[in-house]
Amino acid sequence: MENEFLNQIKALILQNISNDKFGVAELAYAAGMSRSNLLRKIQKYTGDSVSIYIRKIRLDEASKLLRQDAYTVSEVSYRVGFSSASYFIKCFREHYGYPPGEMNNKARVEKDIQYERKSKAYKKVIIFSAAFLVPLIIWILVYSPFSEQKNETKKSIAVLPFKNDSNDSTNVYIVNGLMESILDNLQQLEGLKVISRTSVEKYRNSKLSIPEIAEELNVSYFIEGSGQKIGDNIRLSVQLIEARADDHIWSEQYNRQINDIFDIQTEVAKQVANQIQVHISPEEEERISQLPTDNIEAYELFLQGIDLLNEESKEGLYAGIPYLHKAIELDSEFARAHAALALAYYYVDLFEAGTVFSDSLNYYADKALLHNPKLAQGLTAKALYYIDNNEYGQAVTYLEKALEYNPNSALVINTLSDLYGTHIPNTELYLEYALKGVSLDIASNDSSTASYTYLHLSNALIQTGFTDEAIRAINKSLANNPNNLFSEYVRAYILYAKHKDLKQTKELLIEALEKDPSRFDIMQEIGNACYYMRDWEESYSYFKQFIAIKEALQLDVYVHKTAEIGLVYEKMGFNDEANQFMSQFKSYLETDESTYTHLNLALYYSYLNKPDKAFEHLRLFSKEENFQYWIILFIPMDPLVDNIKDDPEFDQLMEQLENNFWQSHNRIKKQLLAKDLLDF
């Protein structure tokens, strides 16, 4: 009867396998059963919930399709009823221990193993196996790329906004404070990915189901909570939910005195980590168990201040700062309050002209670190002070230390991404932190900000050679804001990396400019595309417009492009202007300390027809590994290298650069896959 029942249920699921809307309710209706009866029988016969049982059938069918090697992973995902290919890959990896793309490799290994076992029935084959097949299979299992053990996907969690059960709204800061403190404790655990507070805030009054929110945030678990403060008592209910199946796996009710508030916060974090099997190191346990203050009144003032700061408005900042000052008056060694005050002054300055409160930011950051040198918020505040003063190297030191103590700080991760993308160019770190930032914090943004975040990410991806991923990111950028012209012209170049079609690139750039003819940056890019196509006349027309607007606005931008502009002017017969542009480029090179100094010098000396000097610098640059994809895409066709490109050494050096780039790309890809960062 058990087999007959399960066979009938399986048949119904297979009949609707491609329908992603076919879930528990639909299955119960098709089977002519009540939902509760279906749940009870599936649980009894399989030990699984109905949603998990349906998912297993879908994944089993997916594995069969993948073995046929006739469909792509995306095609298979939709054929078995997954509306999201990324979610399918995640579920498949969790179920089988490897991604769907490796299915056929795994099948080949299993086939070899089965063959070895069968061969043991024959003595001669046993001898042969010992001499040949066994070493071969061992080599396959140990050394082959498709047998590598994948790192377990880092567990992920979101703490949904806690509900205030009290009719007294003046005590809501306690409930919000409990939520934020539990979140902060979990964020300090290296083995857990924790979504930012700002990303979950949008779901405070959401009507979306837990699985739907999980799909948007890409998380495995949720914490829900509700509580109230009655006199000196705190009542808190907390539950842990497995997100995709919406199953409650742990819950607890706390009824404690206000003095026990720190114990509650620590206990919840430990219980959650234990339930989802996240290891807490002794150092992490020490940090999350450390009392922020022994003055409860000071702590309540701190929570009230933080609640106001979290409004993320100028009014909220100015209203919250006095509470933090009062908290420090009651406990002068309250490091968290000092750090919060430092960060508050940093954000106040964002609303003011200039850095009015830079000294206050520095003072309270130092105070925080004096009382707790391992406080991530204090380290972050100190880093922001150094950024205010353009001391980026110092800022990185403090940010990386902050990340050591709080691996899930979206503020720290996004700040590092910006530093490595803009001020301290490093394509590898730029990409890693951009991916982490999207993973932790993208949901906190409105559509316009999300568009620029994905633009930022697509730029980081293409710089390191992840063309398909960059296309996916730039399409998300334009989906969030179709009018983002920055994304339009970056997309034009990403598609060039994909198709190597400069004519298409030029046409896409012209389409973008037609939407806003005042965009002189796009004019420069069109001139640039024409330059590589050696269409000197059209390139000149766009560069001329670009320079006119740039000079009218008195902007000192795109200085590194003046050599290209100079060459175009020379080709058009404007030699005096060409010499001026080349002089500007030479002046730029005298102060350039970037990764590309030797490359730019090689271009300059090639233009001057001094091949010995050009190759001297090109040899030095050829030792670099950390450079942008554009180098190997455009340098071989750059008109500035016309005087040296026919020399065999030029081809050798470009080949070396290309090898360096792809070796770096493969190393980065391996690291990102191990950290589960390319699934966004």
The full DSSP string for 403-448 is: HHH-TT-HHHHHHHHHIIIIIS--HHHHHHHHHHHHHHHGGGS-HH
pLDDT in tens, 49-98: 787 888 899 999 988 888 877 777 777 888 888 877 667 777 787 788 78
Give the C-alpha distances (Å, rounded to integers) separating 374 from 363, 445, 570. 17, 29, 59
Q: Return the percentage of the chain with pLDDT > 70, whole number.
A: 91
Give the C-alpha distances (Å, rounded to integers) separating 275 from 154, 157, 637. 15, 12, 58
What is the structure's pLDDT at 591? 86
Give the C-alpha distances (Å, rounded to integers) separating 299 from 8, 234, 272, 316, 337. 59, 14, 24, 19, 9
What is the structure's pLDDT at 680? 65
Q: Are 61 and 14 in contact (CB under 8 A)?
A: yes
* Closest by Cα among 479, 425, 428, 492 to 453: 479
CA distance between the termini of the chain: 44
What number of H helices and E strands is found in the chain? 34, 6
Q: How far apart are CA 387 and CA 419, in angstroms?
A: 9
Residue 634 has which token pair?
């455009």
Specify which residues 155 forms β-bridges with.
192
300 burial via Cβ count (<10 Å: 0-12, 13-18, 19+): buried
Task: Calculate mean pLDDT across residues 219-237.
Answer: 92
Q: How far apart are CA 399 and CA 384, in angstroms?
A: 9
Q: How far apart are CA 43 and CA 52, in angstroms?
A: 10
The lowest-confidence range among 104-113, 369-378, 523-532 is 104-113
pLDDT in tens, 167-199: 777 788 999 999 999 999 999 998 899 998 888
Q: What ranges in 295-371 are assigned the alpha helix state H?
A: 296-309, 314-330, 335-351, 358-371
CB within 8 Å of 172: residues ≥ 6 apart: 164, 166, 307
pLDDT at 140 over 60: no
Instruction: Please compute, for residue 98, the number of CA atoms within 13 A of its CA located in the half-sphere on the CB side.
Output: 14
State the amino acid at position 669 in one-letter form: K
Q: How far apart are CA 529 and CA 214, in angstroms?
A: 43
Residue 97 has which token pair?
């221990």
- As a dihedral over the C-alpha atoms of residue 500, residue 504, residue 507, residue 509, rounded to 10 degrees, the angle is -40
pLDDT at 154 over 90: no
Residue 610 has which token pair?
């001094």
Q: Are 328 and 337 in contact (CB under 8 A)?
A: yes
pLDDT at 612 over 80: yes
Q: Return the percentage of the chain with pLDDT > 90, whole number.
A: 56
* CA dihedral for 451, 457, 462, 468, sign (positive or negative): negative
Q: Are 634 and 602 in contact (CB under 8 A)?
A: no
Instruction: Please compute, for residue 171, the number of CA atoms within 13 A of its CA located in the half-sphere on the CB side.
Output: 17
Q: What ranges in 69-171 are assigned the alpha helix state H?
A: 73-79, 85-96, 103-119, 123-128, 134-143
Which of 3-7, 129-133, 197-201, 301-305 is predicted most confidently? 301-305
- As a dihedral over the C-alpha atoms of residue 332, residue 333, residue 336, residue 340, rounded to 10 degrees, the angle is 30
* DSSP helix/strand/coil, 226: strand
Residue for token pair 């009507």: 207
Other CB atoms within 10 Å distance of the CB of residue 523? 23
Residue for token pair 């316009």: 448
Q: Are 172 and 228 in contact (CB under 8 A)?
A: no
What is the number of residues in the chain?
A: 680
Q: How far apart are CA 427 and CA 441, in angstroms?
A: 21
pLDDT in tens, 102-126: 776 554 444 444 434 444 433 333 2
What is the structure's pLDDT at 104? 63
State the amino acid at position 527 in one-letter form: G
What is the structure's pLDDT at 105? 59
DSSP string, 641-661: GTTTTTSHHHHHHHHHHHHHH
Banded pLDDT at 132 (limits 50, 70, 90): very low
Q: Are 273 and 192 in contact (CB under 8 A)?
A: yes
pLDDT at 421 over 80: yes
pLDDT in tens, 582-596: 999 999 998 887 889
DSSP string, 596-630: THHHHHHHHHHHTT-HHHHHHHHHHHTT--S--HH
Banded pLDDT at 1 (limits 50, 70, 90): low
Angle between helices 85-96 and 50-68 (to 10 degrees): 90
Q: How far apart are CA 322 and CA 326, in angstroms?
A: 6
Residue 596 has which token pair?
């590309």
Q: Quick one: how far is CA 621 from the chain centroid?
A: 30
What is the structure's pLDDT at 93? 79
pLDDT in tens, 553-584: 888 778 888 999 999 999 999 999 999 999 99
Angle CA 219–223–225, to nearest 5: 155
State the amino acid at position 523 in one-letter form: M
